[in-house]
Structure 1
Amino acid sequence: MSNLLAIKKLISLAGLSKLLLMLFLGFISGLAGICLMGSAAWIISYAALHPPLYALTLGITCVRFFGISRAAARYLMRLFSHRLAFRCFEKLQLMIYTKMCRELPLKTSLAKQGQYMQQLSKDAELLRDFYLRWLLPVLSTGMLTLCLCLWLHEISPASSALVCFVYGIHIILPVIKINMVKRNEPVNIYRDTLTDVSEGRDELIMSGQQNSFMAKLDNGAVSYGEAANAQQSQQEITSACLDIIRQISFVVYLSLLIQAIGNGTLEPRWLGVWILLLLGLYIDFAELTAAAFPLLNAVESAMRILDKPQQADIVESSPLDSSSEHILSAENISFSYSKGYPVFSTISFNLSKGESMAVRGDSGSGKTTLAELLLKLYPTDHGEIALFGTPYSNLSADIIRSYFSASIQQCHIFSDSIRDNFTRLHPGITDEKIWQALDTACLGNDVRIMPMKLDEPMGENGSRLSGGQRNRLLTALAIASDAPCLILDEPTDGLDKITGARLIENVISHIQQNGKTLILITHDVEAASKLPRELLLSQP
């Protein structure tokens, strides 16, 4: 998305009619302020000629009128502009929510995902201010400059061109200066280093390497501070340059007006009026400097929020063709968390309804990643996965996941009771079905001896359960679903050999009785041998 396209989308988001109303009120407010100074200058210069009393009365009335008009227009401008800005802010927040639903989880850690969400929230706040602090000042001041220059052109074309040039340089110069500073790179490096240190704090302390990494963090903070100081210096230098330009241009403007008096195109008594009119306009020019600096940041924020990836037509609610030969198929799929480093070698497979398959591979071969791809937590880099013959790229994530029940490593367990975990995932489930799922997962007897049985609290993320009990509860939660395809990721992890073997036998019996398709992810050769098919993953 280009910068101009991003600005165009921001303008369309506000609504043209509401934006024009805001700009009109801003223009009237600024015009009334300039006319107030011009009227005051006219009274002072005209009074020296001893005009009739009614002429002075008219001038005083104009001063009062423009003063009241300026106050009223400024109040209405702020009222409507803030309403518009916060209405756009609400729309941007909804866009962020939609974007998060579409893109999460990212191919990063939870901390990085949190940073990304925080960045988008900051982007929305920055774009809210874009309407108030950049768009309104720049456009309303531009309209004032245009009107003044059209009027001034009849008196002194050179003065008119000079004022237009000064306005343009107040917009262009800050943007050029901002481009000279690398704003984001030091910030990103420092943030990534801080995240790594915070996530690995315990490991650093135990290994005695905390001090060395803290030194690295300090260096990142220094670079970040230097980048911030460089940007601040550029802003101060730009502001100083623009101050000098205004001072020099004022002297040139004054000499051109004096020349116009000599040419007879300007009456001497109007000299003070035109001087104060320019001074009033220069007050608005000075505010443009601060308004122009956030422009590029606002454009980058708009690109992050408004940019939508190209995708095929998505089926949202139409039922799939269950008569297809294969319930699930994958053809030459590959995936990488970091570009150029695929997790596993290209794989292909087909699964018919009621068929079972074991997925084996060494640690780090991508077994869990494959499960996440099947659940459309991530899109594949290459190849295509299909459900009942329909490519994943044409299906919404909600439709795909309605055909699956899954137990993935590191799934979350809610802190309330066992019953609450089941009812959250399977509303309306009966106690009888809960016990059946627990017994199938070889956890029923453990729960029966708990003081509160199904109402036993689990603690934060299942902290009151052992590792083996936690895995069996996740397995039971997946088994309790009526979805036709069951994915179990290392269900025997943390179990003794006898319990693990009984659990696999129970799961096989369950899918045979219910006609489900099973994908068993395991490193256990004995467990995998109990299924008719096996897919072996390997690192490329």
Structure 2
Amino acid sequence: MSRTYSRRARLGTGLAMGVAAQLAAVGLLLASAWLIVRAAEQPPVLYLMVAIVSVRFFGISRSVLRYVERLLTHDVALADAVEQRVATYTDLDRAAPAGLGDLRRGDLVSRVVADVARMQDRLLRLRIPWWIGLAATAVVVVVVALIDAPSGLVITAGVAVAALSLRWLVARAGSRRSGRAEAQGRLSAEVAAAAVAARELVAFGAADEARATASTATGDAESAQSGGASVAGIGSAVVLAVAGLTVAVLAALSGGLDPVLVGVVLLAPIALVEPWDGWSEAERLRPEVTAAAARLAALADLGAPVEDPADPRPLPDGNDLVVEDVRVGWDTPVTTPISFKVPEGAAMAVTGPSGVGKSTLGYALLRLLPTWHGTVSLGGVPTTELSAAEVRRRIGYLGQDDAVFDTSIRENLRIADPEADDERLRAALASAGLLVSVDAMPQGLDTPVGEHGGRLSGGERQRLCLARLLLADHRVLVLDEPTEHLDAPTAAALMDDVLALAGPGGRSLVVISHSPAVLARFDDVVRLSRVDP
């Protein structure tokens, strides 16, 4: 409650500072107009001192007030952006196990980065300019009306025309030319796909086709960007046209005014051009902000493959893993019923033909996917009665191509535990059989691994992923094709270290593999069978 109140207080104070800054800008122009006209009458200089001081005051205070307004409102907007980004990552974490539909990697990055950043504009460049502009405009209208009521009515009419024209014309033009976010998402997707598959594209002679596709996406993004510039031009034209027309009408009606006040009244619409320009920019951005909100909402609407029970049971002390008559699959069951038991500290293997559901079974063991039938129990408790996050704290998964990030060995390990010290990192590397190699590297733990671990050998990369899994202290390890893409000696050495993790007081192992050499290392092997069509 206090945090929300504090944020609202900062926003309210920031808006007040913004209105004051806008009024200072208006006051600077109107005071200058009065000073110039009055000075032309050559009065004693003392008659001008108040106006001179006012001009200086408005000029200085405008900058100070604007700075304070930006400081406070941006603080609120950035706090909102942090919450939005966390919510977006939470949505992805919930939905990712079941897949993200037709979202490609580059488009997903665009949504997480660009769309969340665009949501900051909803407050800073859409709502605040309207609020500040309306407040400042209302004050100017009241001041002019006190000087001359008909002039006040004319400016009121000009304000109404400007607001309605911008709200309808610019927003309509922007909607027709919207799609910049989608175009940038497509461009990001094409570039990311081409970058990831660059070697394969060159090897198979498809680089030119990928380049043409990326070029088309670039052209679409440029077209969308150009459309935004044309909308901005339409808004500026509307603002200048309304301001000029208002000045012309005021000039025609100013015959009865005191000559000193004529300049003040005629320049009042000009003083409102700045807030009106803010309205124009807000309306130009409105379709983009709306589209960004819709794209983020689409992520939030992605369904979770696994729902936690309303009242989850506490995680049991035991680590025995029991699978009873389980059938798994994505859209339909693909396996016959599966049953096996992995006592704490034991090791077993799972095999079967390609496409039979071996990896899918691994996902089901971690409650990343639901089972179609049967029960998976951990420590004697069905995992459906436990929180999915708690199950994943106990059961860890190592896939065939786990992510290795383009940073140091240390930071790749700390993904599992950001607070881990070097002693724990080295212990995990030792258990994974990688410590000797890391110590031989000139930079040790600070050695950069390159993109996708490209600076490491295949065996080192797998061991690094295994060390990260061990650092998270999972007690049951599901290893999916751990020796894939490794030569026979490297694969054998890796399996020696993997099997050393099991045993009394050690971790339980479920190794998914189709390699005869790997399967020969296990006494207990479960073979999966496909459902007959």
TM-score for both structures, normalised by structure 2:
0.70
CA distance in 2, matches of 1:176, 1:347: 57
* Displacement of 1:320: 1.5
Aligned position for 1:338: none
What does the per-residue CA deviation read over 1:484-522, in whole Å, with 9 as the maximum and x for residues that have no partner? 42312224545659x879969994x97564586543312
**Alignment-derived partner of residue 161 in structure 1:** 157
Is 2:25 the counterpart of 1:28? Answer: no
Instruction: Decide which moves more: 289-298 or 474-483.
Output: 474-483
Shift of 1:85: 0.9
The residue type paired with residue 290 of structure 1 is: E
Aligned counterparts of 1:411 and 1:211: Cα–Cα separation in 2: 30
- Which residues of 2 match residues 273-422 of structure 1 at below 5 A? 273-301=264-292, 319-321=314-316, 334-335=329-330, 342=331, 345=334, 354=343, 358-372=349-363, 374-375=365-366, 388=378, 389=381, 395=387, 397=389, 399-411=390-402
Asked whether the equivalents of residues 479 and 511 of structure 2 are also in contact (C-alpha less than 8 Å), the reply is yes
Alignment of 1:64-143 (within 5 A): 64-65=53-54, 67-86=56-75, 88-89=77-78, 92-93=81-82, 96=85, 99-100=88-89, 103=92, 107=99, 113=105, 116-117=108-109, 120-123=112-115, 125-127=117-119, 132-143=124-135
| C-alpha distance 38-390 of structure 1, shift in aligned 2 (>3 A) | farther
Per the alignment, residue 202 of structure 2 pairs with: 205
Q: Does 1:230 align with 2:224?
A: no
Question: Which residue among 176, 179, 188 is the counterpart of 1:180?
Answer: 176
CA distance in 2, matches of 1:63, 1:243: 29
Aligned sequence identity (%): 17
Instruction: Answer yes or no: is the 8 Å Cα contact 2:327–2:334 preserved in 1.
Output: no
State the AA in 2 paired with 1:531: D
8 Å Cα contact 1:332-1:382 kept in structure 2: yes
The separation in 1 between residues aligned to 2:471 and 2:124, in whole angstroms, is 53
| Partner SS state of residue 28, structure 1 | helix
Q: CA 1:538–1:253 in structure 2 vs 1: closer, same or farther (change >3 Å)?
A: farther
2:427 and 2:237 map into 1 onto residues whose CA distance is 77
2:189 counterpart letter in structure 1: D
Provide Cα deviations, 1:234-271, integer angstroms capped at 9, x if missing partner: 3323433443343334434555x459x6xxxx777654
Counterpart Cα distance in 2 of 1:251 and 1:330: 85
1:106-145 deviations in whole A, cap 9, x for unaligned? 8479x95576446534445545566554444322111022
Letter in 2 for 1:282: V
1:75 Cα deviation after fit: 0.9
On the 8 A contact 1:43/1:60 being kept in 2, the answer is no
Q: What's the offset of the Cα at 1:535?
A: 3.6
Unaligned 5+ runs, structure 1 = 1-10, 336-341
Change (3 A) 1:280 1:521: same
2-structure distance, mates of 1:463, 1:152: 71
| Structure 2 residue identity aligned to 1:407 | L
Letter of the structure 1 residue corresponding to residue 201 of structure 2:
L
Shift of 1:284: 2.9
- Distance verdict in 2 for CA 1:329–1:59, change over 3 Å: farther
Alpha-carbon contact 2:111-2:295 (below 8 Å) kept: no
Indicate if the aligned counterparts of 2:190 and 2:217 stay in contact, CA closer than 8 A: yes
Deviations 1:456-498 (A, max 9, x none): 559844866565x87688779878997442312224545659x
Of stretches 202-211 and 292-301 in structure 1, the one that deviates more from structure 2 is 292-301
TM-score scaled by length of structure 1: 0.69
How many Å separate the matches in 1 of 2:387 and 2:46? 75
Paired AA for residue 367 in structure 1: K
Aligned partner of 1:4 in structure 2 is none
Deviation for aligned residue 1:273: 2.9
**Helix, strand or coil: the match of 1:208?**
coil
Question: Are residues 1:246 and 2:243 paired?
Answer: yes
3-state SS of the aligned residue for 1:288? helix
Distance 2:70 2:532 in 1: 57
Question: In 2 relative to 1, CA 487–179 (structure 1 residues): closer, same or farther, beyond 3 Å?
Answer: same
**CA deviation profile, 1:264-315 (whole Å, cap 9, x unmatched):** xx77765443222222113432343234323443455566679856986799
Displacement, 1:16? 1.9
* In structure 2, C-alpha distance between the alignment counterparts of 1:89 and 1:34, rounded to whole Å: 29
Task: State the secondary structure of the residue aligned to 1:486.
Answer: strand
In 2, Cα distance between the equivalents of 1:43 and 1:474? 74
2:456 and 2:130 map into 1 onto residues whose CA distance is 60
TM superposition shift of 1:318: 7.8
User: Is 1:89–1:124's contact at 8 Å kept on the other side of the alignment?
Assistant: no
Structure 2 CA distance for aligned equivalents of residues 466 and 407 of structure 1: 14
Are 2:208 and 1:215 aligned?
no
2: CA distance, partners of 1:394 / 1:484: 16
Q: Gapped runs of 5+ residues in structure 2?
A: none
More off after superposition, 175-184 vs 200-209: 200-209
Would the aligned equivalents of 1:360 and 1:537 in 2 still touch at CA under 8 Å? Answer: no
CA distance in 2, matches of 1:85, 1:482: 41
Q: CA deviation at 1:344?
A: 6.7
1:18 to 4, 10, 34: 10
Given candidates 166, 188, 194, the residue that maps to 1:170 is 166
Listed as ranges, the matches of 1:348-497 within 5 Å are 354=343, 358-372=349-363, 374-375=365-366, 388=378, 389=381, 395=387, 397=389, 399-411=390-402, 455-457=439-441, 460=449, 461=453, 465=457, 483-491=474-482, 493=484, 494=486
1:57 positional shift: 5.0
Question: Aligned equivalents of 1:385 and 1:13: distance in 2?
Answer: 48
Matched letter for residue 142 of structure 1: L
Give yes or no for contact 1:22–1:136 (8 Å, CA) kept in 2: no
Give the Cα separation in 1 of the matches to 2:29 and 2:37: 12
What is aligned with 2:190? 193
